[in-house]
Structure 1
Amino acid sequence: MVSKAGGVDGQSVHPGKYAHVERERRFLLARAPSLSAVTVSRLITDRYLVGTRLRLRRADFSDGRCEMKLTQKVPASLPGATQGLITNTYLSSAEYELLASLPARVLSKARLSVPPLGVDVFDAHLQGLVLAEAEFTTDEEAQSFVPPVKCVAEVTDDARFTGGRLVQTSRQELLEWLAEYGLRPE
Protein backbone atom coordinates (compact mmCIF):
# COMPACT_ATOMS: atom_id res chain seq x y z
CA MET A 1 0.00 0.00 0.00
CA VAL A 2 1.29 3.48 -0.79
CA SER A 3 1.67 5.18 2.57
CA LYS A 4 0.98 8.81 3.44
CA ALA A 5 4.69 9.26 4.01
CA GLY A 6 5.21 8.50 0.35
CA GLY A 7 6.61 4.99 0.59
CA VAL A 8 5.19 1.53 0.33
CA ASP A 9 4.39 -0.22 3.60
CA GLY A 10 7.29 -2.48 4.54
CA GLN A 11 9.44 -1.23 1.66
CA SER A 12 12.27 1.26 1.42
CA VAL A 13 11.13 2.77 -1.88
CA HIS A 14 9.93 6.36 -2.00
CA PRO A 15 8.28 8.22 -4.87
CA GLY A 16 10.11 11.28 -6.09
CA LYS A 17 13.61 9.96 -5.45
CA TYR A 18 13.82 7.11 -7.95
CA ALA A 19 10.39 5.51 -7.99
CA HIS A 20 7.14 7.10 -9.01
CA VAL A 21 3.53 6.13 -8.42
CA GLU A 22 2.15 4.00 -11.24
CA ARG A 23 -1.50 4.61 -12.05
CA GLU A 24 -3.13 2.44 -14.68
CA ARG A 25 -6.39 0.74 -15.48
CA ARG A 26 -6.53 -2.54 -17.42
CA PHE A 27 -9.28 -3.89 -19.68
CA LEU A 28 -9.95 -7.09 -21.58
CA LEU A 29 -10.68 -6.82 -25.29
CA ALA A 30 -12.29 -9.51 -27.43
CA ARG A 31 -9.78 -8.93 -30.25
CA ALA A 32 -6.84 -6.81 -31.32
CA PRO A 33 -7.61 -3.39 -32.76
CA SER A 34 -7.52 -2.85 -36.53
CA LEU A 35 -4.05 -1.96 -37.75
CA SER A 36 -5.39 1.33 -39.17
CA ALA A 37 -6.01 2.53 -35.58
CA VAL A 38 -2.44 1.74 -34.42
CA THR A 39 -0.04 4.70 -34.15
CA VAL A 40 3.06 2.80 -32.90
CA SER A 41 3.81 -0.90 -32.55
CA ARG A 42 6.55 -2.84 -30.85
CA LEU A 43 7.40 -6.40 -29.92
CA ILE A 44 8.09 -6.78 -26.22
CA THR A 45 9.97 -9.53 -24.45
CA ASP A 46 9.68 -9.38 -20.66
CA ARG A 47 12.00 -11.46 -18.51
CA TYR A 48 10.72 -11.69 -14.91
CA LEU A 49 13.85 -12.41 -12.88
CA VAL A 50 13.18 -15.41 -10.65
CA GLY A 51 12.92 -14.64 -6.92
CA THR A 52 12.76 -10.85 -7.41
CA ARG A 53 10.34 -8.00 -8.19
CA LEU A 54 12.49 -7.15 -11.22
CA ARG A 55 11.51 -7.26 -14.87
CA LEU A 56 13.97 -6.98 -17.74
CA ARG A 57 12.27 -5.62 -20.87
CA ARG A 58 13.34 -5.44 -24.48
CA ALA A 59 11.06 -3.51 -26.82
CA ASP A 60 11.75 -3.69 -30.55
CA PHE A 61 9.85 -0.91 -32.36
CA SER A 62 8.54 -1.18 -35.91
CA ASP A 63 10.82 1.72 -36.95
CA GLY A 64 13.95 -0.25 -35.93
CA ARG A 65 14.54 1.33 -32.51
CA CYS A 66 15.23 -0.90 -29.55
CA GLU A 67 14.65 0.03 -25.90
CA MET A 68 15.98 -2.04 -23.01
CA LYS A 69 15.23 -1.41 -19.36
CA LEU A 70 15.22 -2.94 -15.91
CA THR A 71 12.05 -2.29 -13.93
CA GLN A 72 11.15 -2.79 -10.29
CA LYS A 73 7.49 -2.78 -9.37
CA VAL A 74 6.46 -2.60 -5.73
CA PRO A 75 2.71 -3.28 -5.74
CA ALA A 76 0.16 -1.34 -3.71
CA SER A 77 -2.23 -3.33 -1.58
CA LEU A 78 -5.13 -1.08 -2.54
CA PRO A 79 -7.80 -1.67 -5.17
CA GLY A 80 -8.01 0.76 -8.04
CA ALA A 81 -5.73 2.51 -10.49
CA THR A 82 -2.82 3.10 -8.09
CA GLN A 83 -0.76 0.02 -8.85
CA GLY A 84 2.18 0.88 -6.59
CA LEU A 85 5.63 2.25 -7.21
CA ILE A 86 7.68 1.73 -10.35
CA THR A 87 11.37 2.40 -11.00
CA ASN A 88 12.93 2.12 -14.47
CA THR A 89 16.60 2.03 -15.42
CA TYR A 90 17.44 2.20 -19.12
CA LEU A 91 20.19 -0.17 -20.21
CA SER A 92 22.88 -0.51 -22.86
CA SER A 93 22.98 -3.68 -24.99
CA ALA A 94 25.87 -5.04 -22.89
CA GLU A 95 24.03 -4.38 -19.62
CA TYR A 96 20.88 -6.01 -21.00
CA GLU A 97 22.75 -9.10 -22.21
CA LEU A 98 24.45 -9.55 -18.82
CA LEU A 99 21.12 -9.34 -16.94
CA ALA A 100 19.41 -11.56 -19.54
CA SER A 101 21.70 -14.39 -18.46
CA LEU A 102 19.94 -14.54 -15.06
CA PRO A 103 17.17 -17.12 -14.48
CA ALA A 104 13.85 -15.69 -15.61
CA ARG A 105 10.33 -16.50 -16.76
CA VAL A 106 9.68 -15.04 -20.20
CA LEU A 107 6.57 -13.41 -21.62
CA SER A 108 6.25 -11.98 -25.12
CA LYS A 109 3.63 -9.78 -26.71
CA ALA A 110 2.99 -7.14 -29.33
CA ARG A 111 2.12 -3.72 -27.92
CA LEU A 112 -0.05 -1.57 -30.11
CA SER A 113 -0.55 2.10 -29.29
CA VAL A 114 -4.17 3.07 -29.90
CA PRO A 115 -4.48 6.33 -27.96
CA PRO A 116 -5.44 6.60 -25.19
CA LEU A 117 -4.72 2.88 -24.78
CA GLY A 118 -1.74 0.60 -25.07
CA VAL A 119 -3.03 -2.77 -26.29
CA ASP A 120 -1.05 -5.95 -25.58
CA VAL A 121 -1.65 -8.91 -27.90
CA PHE A 122 -0.06 -11.98 -26.34
CA ASP A 123 1.40 -14.98 -28.13
CA ALA A 124 2.51 -18.52 -27.31
CA HIS A 125 0.45 -20.12 -24.51
CA LEU A 126 -1.31 -16.79 -23.85
CA GLN A 127 -2.53 -16.46 -27.45
CA GLY A 128 -6.03 -15.00 -27.50
CA LEU A 129 -5.41 -12.68 -24.56
CA VAL A 130 -5.77 -9.03 -25.54
CA LEU A 131 -5.28 -6.54 -22.69
CA ALA A 132 -5.60 -2.78 -22.96
CA GLU A 133 -4.24 -0.35 -20.41
CA ALA A 134 -4.47 3.36 -19.86
CA GLU A 135 -1.93 5.22 -17.72
CA PHE A 136 -2.63 8.35 -15.68
CA THR A 137 -0.74 11.12 -13.94
CA THR A 138 -3.32 11.74 -11.21
CA ASP A 139 -5.94 9.78 -9.28
CA GLU A 140 -8.62 12.12 -10.64
CA GLU A 141 -7.66 11.34 -14.25
CA ALA A 142 -7.81 7.61 -13.51
CA GLN A 143 -11.20 7.83 -11.80
CA SER A 144 -12.80 9.94 -14.53
CA PHE A 145 -11.53 7.83 -17.45
CA VAL A 146 -14.33 6.31 -19.51
CA PRO A 147 -13.09 3.19 -21.31
CA PRO A 148 -13.87 2.76 -25.00
CA VAL A 149 -16.92 0.68 -25.90
CA LYS A 150 -14.72 -2.16 -27.22
CA CYS A 151 -13.52 -2.95 -23.69
CA VAL A 152 -15.24 -6.16 -22.58
CA ALA A 153 -14.42 -5.89 -18.86
CA GLU A 154 -12.19 -3.96 -16.51
CA VAL A 155 -9.58 -6.17 -14.83
CA THR A 156 -7.61 -3.50 -12.98
CA ASP A 157 -8.29 -5.22 -9.65
CA ASP A 158 -7.88 -8.77 -10.98
CA ALA A 159 -4.26 -9.64 -10.13
CA ARG A 160 -4.40 -12.60 -12.52
CA PHE A 161 -4.04 -10.13 -15.39
CA THR A 162 -0.71 -8.64 -14.31
CA GLY A 163 2.50 -9.55 -16.10
CA GLY A 164 4.04 -11.11 -12.99
CA ARG A 165 1.09 -13.49 -12.72
CA LEU A 166 0.55 -14.11 -16.44
CA VAL A 167 4.14 -15.26 -16.89
CA GLN A 168 3.32 -18.19 -14.56
CA THR A 169 -0.08 -19.00 -16.08
CA SER A 170 -0.87 -22.17 -17.99
CA ARG A 171 -2.96 -22.16 -21.17
CA GLN A 172 -5.78 -23.97 -19.37
CA GLU A 173 -5.84 -21.41 -16.52
CA LEU A 174 -5.97 -18.55 -19.02
CA LEU A 175 -8.88 -20.09 -20.91
CA GLU A 176 -10.79 -20.57 -17.64
CA TRP A 177 -10.16 -16.95 -16.58
CA LEU A 178 -11.24 -15.57 -19.94
CA ALA A 179 -14.38 -17.72 -19.87
CA GLU A 180 -15.33 -16.03 -16.58
CA TYR A 181 -15.52 -12.79 -18.58
CA GLY A 182 -17.43 -14.40 -21.47
CA LEU A 183 -14.39 -14.64 -23.77
CA ARG A 184 -13.52 -17.82 -25.63
CA PRO A 185 -10.45 -17.36 -27.84
CA GLU A 186 -9.98 -19.69 -30.78
Structure 2
Amino acid sequence: MEIERKYLITRLPEGATDHPYHLIEQGYLSTEPVVRVRREDDNYYLTYKSKGLLEREEYNLPLTMDSYDHLIQKADGHILTKRRYLIPVENSDSLTIELDIFEARFEGLMLAEVEFDTREDAEAFTAPEWFGEDVTFTGEYQNSRLSRLP
Protein backbone atom coordinates (compact mmCIF):
# COMPACT_ATOMS: atom_id res chain seq x y z
CA MET A 1 0.00 0.00 0.00
CA GLU A 2 1.31 3.42 -0.93
CA ILE A 3 0.20 6.32 1.28
CA GLU A 4 1.57 9.68 0.18
CA ARG A 5 0.90 13.39 0.10
CA LYS A 6 1.94 15.50 -2.89
CA TYR A 7 2.73 19.22 -3.03
CA LEU A 8 3.39 21.72 -5.78
CA ILE A 9 6.71 23.51 -5.26
CA THR A 10 7.27 27.03 -6.52
CA ARG A 11 10.54 27.89 -4.79
CA LEU A 12 13.32 25.67 -3.55
CA PRO A 13 14.87 26.11 -0.13
CA GLU A 14 18.59 26.73 0.04
CA GLY A 15 20.53 23.49 -0.34
CA ALA A 16 17.64 21.39 -1.69
CA THR A 17 19.66 20.19 -4.67
CA ASP A 18 22.70 19.33 -2.52
CA HIS A 19 20.99 16.09 -1.42
CA PRO A 20 21.38 12.66 -3.08
CA TYR A 21 19.22 12.12 -6.15
CA HIS A 22 18.07 9.58 -8.72
CA LEU A 23 17.64 10.12 -12.46
CA ILE A 24 14.23 8.80 -13.48
CA GLU A 25 12.64 8.12 -16.85
CA GLN A 26 9.17 6.60 -16.99
CA GLY A 27 6.35 5.88 -19.37
CA TYR A 28 2.84 4.51 -19.05
CA LEU A 29 1.59 1.40 -20.80
CA SER A 30 -1.86 2.08 -19.30
CA THR A 31 -3.31 4.86 -17.15
CA GLU A 32 -6.50 3.02 -16.05
CA PRO A 33 -5.26 0.98 -14.30
CA VAL A 34 -1.83 2.55 -14.02
CA VAL A 35 0.87 0.32 -15.48
CA ARG A 36 4.21 2.09 -15.61
CA VAL A 37 7.75 1.23 -16.67
CA ARG A 38 10.55 3.13 -14.97
CA ARG A 39 14.28 3.46 -15.19
CA GLU A 40 15.74 4.77 -11.94
CA ASP A 41 19.48 5.18 -12.41
CA ASP A 42 20.53 1.63 -13.43
CA ASN A 43 17.42 -0.13 -12.07
CA TYR A 44 14.31 -0.98 -14.07
CA TYR A 45 10.75 -1.66 -12.89
CA LEU A 46 7.26 -2.47 -14.04
CA THR A 47 4.73 -0.96 -11.63
CA TYR A 48 1.00 -1.45 -11.17
CA LYS A 49 -0.96 1.15 -9.18
CA SER A 50 -4.62 0.93 -8.26
CA LYS A 51 -7.00 3.89 -8.30
CA GLY A 52 -6.71 6.36 -5.46
CA LEU A 53 -5.19 9.65 -4.39
CA LEU A 54 -3.90 9.51 -0.81
CA GLU A 55 -3.85 5.70 -0.60
CA ARG A 56 -3.51 3.07 -3.28
CA GLU A 57 -2.05 -0.32 -3.91
CA GLU A 58 1.32 -0.41 -5.62
CA TYR A 59 3.32 -3.38 -6.87
CA ASN A 60 6.85 -3.12 -8.31
CA LEU A 61 8.42 -5.88 -10.35
CA PRO A 62 12.06 -5.76 -11.45
CA LEU A 63 12.85 -5.65 -15.17
CA THR A 64 16.02 -6.16 -17.15
CA MET A 65 17.40 -3.27 -19.17
CA ASP A 66 16.38 -5.08 -22.38
CA SER A 67 12.81 -5.56 -21.13
CA TYR A 68 12.62 -1.91 -20.12
CA ASP A 69 13.97 -0.75 -23.49
CA HIS A 70 11.36 -2.88 -25.26
CA LEU A 71 8.44 -1.74 -23.08
CA ILE A 72 9.24 1.99 -22.95
CA GLN A 73 8.80 2.08 -26.73
CA LYS A 74 5.20 0.94 -26.22
CA ALA A 75 4.36 3.71 -23.73
CA ASP A 76 1.38 5.91 -24.50
CA GLY A 77 1.72 9.66 -24.25
CA HIS A 78 4.78 11.49 -23.00
CA ILE A 79 7.84 9.90 -21.44
CA LEU A 80 8.55 11.73 -18.17
CA THR A 81 12.09 12.54 -17.08
CA LYS A 82 13.01 13.99 -13.72
CA ARG A 83 15.65 14.26 -11.07
CA ARG A 84 14.40 13.01 -7.68
CA TYR A 85 16.17 14.49 -4.65
CA LEU A 86 15.88 12.65 -1.32
CA ILE A 87 15.61 15.17 1.52
CA PRO A 88 15.14 14.11 5.15
CA VAL A 89 12.11 15.68 6.86
CA GLU A 90 13.27 17.80 9.80
CA ASN A 91 12.30 16.41 13.22
CA SER A 92 11.56 12.96 11.77
CA ASP A 93 13.68 9.83 11.86
CA SER A 94 11.73 8.05 9.16
CA LEU A 95 10.20 10.52 6.68
CA THR A 96 11.85 11.59 3.43
CA ILE A 97 10.81 14.27 0.97
CA GLU A 98 11.06 13.06 -2.61
CA LEU A 99 11.56 16.30 -4.54
CA ASP A 100 10.96 15.78 -8.25
CA ILE A 101 12.40 18.39 -10.60
CA PHE A 102 11.07 17.60 -14.06
CA GLU A 103 13.07 17.94 -17.25
CA ALA A 104 12.33 18.09 -20.99
CA ARG A 105 8.62 18.69 -21.74
CA PHE A 106 7.77 19.50 -18.11
CA GLU A 107 10.88 21.53 -17.30
CA GLY A 108 10.11 23.96 -14.49
CA LEU A 109 7.57 21.69 -12.78
CA MET A 110 8.56 20.74 -9.24
CA LEU A 111 6.62 18.38 -6.98
CA ALA A 112 7.35 17.02 -3.51
CA GLU A 113 5.97 13.74 -2.21
CA VAL A 114 6.15 12.30 1.29
CA GLU A 115 5.25 8.65 1.92
CA PHE A 116 3.76 7.48 5.22
CA ASP A 117 3.22 4.21 7.05
CA THR A 118 -0.40 5.02 7.94
CA ARG A 119 -3.25 7.21 6.76
CA GLU A 120 -3.31 8.83 10.20
CA ASP A 121 0.34 9.84 9.87
CA ALA A 122 -0.37 11.32 6.43
CA GLU A 123 -3.35 13.29 7.71
CA ALA A 124 -1.38 14.62 10.71
CA PHE A 125 1.61 15.73 8.60
CA THR A 126 2.57 19.40 8.75
CA ALA A 127 4.35 20.39 5.56
CA PRO A 128 7.56 22.43 5.66
CA GLU A 129 7.19 26.16 4.96
CA TRP A 130 8.68 25.87 1.49
CA PHE A 131 5.99 23.46 0.29
CA GLY A 132 3.33 25.02 -1.91
CA GLU A 133 -0.21 23.89 -2.57
CA ASP A 134 -1.21 20.42 -1.37
CA VAL A 135 -2.32 18.72 -4.60
CA THR A 136 -2.78 15.24 -3.13
CA PHE A 137 -6.54 15.13 -3.65
CA THR A 138 -6.76 16.88 -7.02
CA GLY A 139 -5.07 14.14 -9.03
CA GLU A 140 -3.97 16.94 -11.37
CA TYR A 141 -0.29 16.27 -10.84
CA GLN A 142 -0.30 12.47 -10.91
CA ASN A 143 2.48 11.46 -13.28
CA SER A 144 0.10 9.20 -15.21
CA ARG A 145 -2.10 12.23 -15.90
CA LEU A 146 0.86 14.40 -16.90
CA SER A 147 1.85 11.74 -19.45
CA ARG A 148 -1.50 12.21 -21.21
CA LEU A 149 -1.48 16.01 -21.49
CA PRO A 150 -1.67 17.35 -25.05
Q: 1:139 aligns with which of 100, 119, 135?
A: 119
What RMSD, in angstroms, separates the aligned Cα atoms of the two structures? 1.9
- Cα distance in 2, alignment partners of residues 93 and 26 from structure 1: 29
In percent, how many aligned pairs have the same letter? 31
Higher relative contact order (CA 8 A, sep 6+): 2
Q: 1:129 aligns with which of 86, 109, 119?
A: 109
Tell me what 1:40 maps to: 20
Say whether the 8 Å CA contact 2:26–2:72 is kept in structure 1. no
Residue-by-residue CA offset, 1:20-51 (whole Å, 9 max, x unaligned): x2100001111344446643211110111156
**Largest Rg, 1 or 2:** 1
TM-score by length of 2: 0.84
- Cα distance in 1, alignment partners of residues 17 and 83 from structure 2: 15
Say whether the 8 Å CA contact 2:13–2:130 is kept in structure 1. no
Tell me what 1:89 maps to: 61
Say whether the 8 Å CA contact 1:27–1:154 is kept in structure 2. yes
**Count of residues paired in the alignment:** 141
Helix, strand or coil at the partner of 2:67? helix
Cα distance, 1:34–1:49 mapped onto 2, change above 3 Å: farther
- Cα distance in 2, alignment partners of residues 39 and 153 from structure 1: 23
- Cα distance in 2, alignment partners of residues 107 and 29 from structure 1: 18
Deviation at 1:71, TM superposition (A): 0.4
Residue-by-residue CA offset, 1:47-104 (whole Å, 9 max, x unaligned): 11156621000011xxxxx11100011112xx6x22x111110112222223223243
Cα distance, 1:148–1:72 mapped onto 2, change above 3 Å: same
Task: Give the unaligned 5+ runs of structure 2.
Answer: 89-95
Tell me what 2:93 maps to: none
Is 1:98 paired with 2:70? yes
Is 1:54 paired with 2:26? no
Task: Give the unaligned 5+ runs of structure 1.
Answer: 1-20, 61-65, 171-186
- Cα distance in 2, alignment partners of residues 73 and 139 from structure 1: 17
Helix, strand or coil at the partner of 1:97? helix
Helix, strand or coil at the partner of 1:88? strand
